[in-house]
Amino acid sequence: MTITSDMIRGHTDTIILAHLEEQDSYGYQINKSIQERTGYILKDATLYTAFRRLEDVEYITSYWGDGDSGARRRYYTITKKGRQALLEMKKEWQEAKAIIDKLIHMEEGYYE
């Protein structure tokens, strides 16, 4: 749970899209799922800011679903454009990981 704001920054969108790739979902549920799987939780404001941002670029669309238990829910669906973007984001993450690993000397065979 020691992950910081700056560490998560730039990955929020990817995390959300990856979730929606599996199935349509809504804010609260996404956050619950994140917490269950990692112990980490996105801040409300961060999450909803991200939804707006992703809708603006048409990576996701939304619709109101019924809250059969609890309050009303806004469901999100990933678009085709969103799926393409997600693929790209995942590739970028792999690259970024390798670069950062190299720069903080976490990779194998560093000793030159």
Return the residue of 48, 63, 64, 93 that touches its own copies, per CB under 8 A.
93
Does residue 6 interact with its own copies by CB under 8 A? Answer: yes
Q: Is 22 in contact with 2 (CB distance < 8 Å)?
A: no
- Span of 63-71, 77-85, 88-96, 97-105 interacting with DNA by CB under 7 A: 63-71
Left if phi > 0, otherwise alpha if psi is -120 to 50, otherwise beta: which for 56? alpha
C-beta closer to DNA: residue 34 or 83? 34
Q: Is 102 in the site for its own copies (CB under 8 A)?
A: yes
Convert residues 35-54 into a mask of x (bound to its own copies by CB under 8 A) and - (unbound).
--xx-x--------------
3-state secondary structure of 72: coil
Residue 24: Cβ-neighbour burial (10 angstroms; 0-12, 13-18, 19+):
middle
Stretch that binds DNA, among 68-76, 77-85, 87-95, 100-108 (CB under 7 A): 68-76
> CA 50 → CA 7, 24, 59, 66, 101, distances in Å?
16, 16, 11, 22, 27
User: Which residue ranges make up the site for DNA (CB under 7 A)?
Assistant: 4-6, 8-12, 26-29, 32, 42-46, 48-53, 67-75
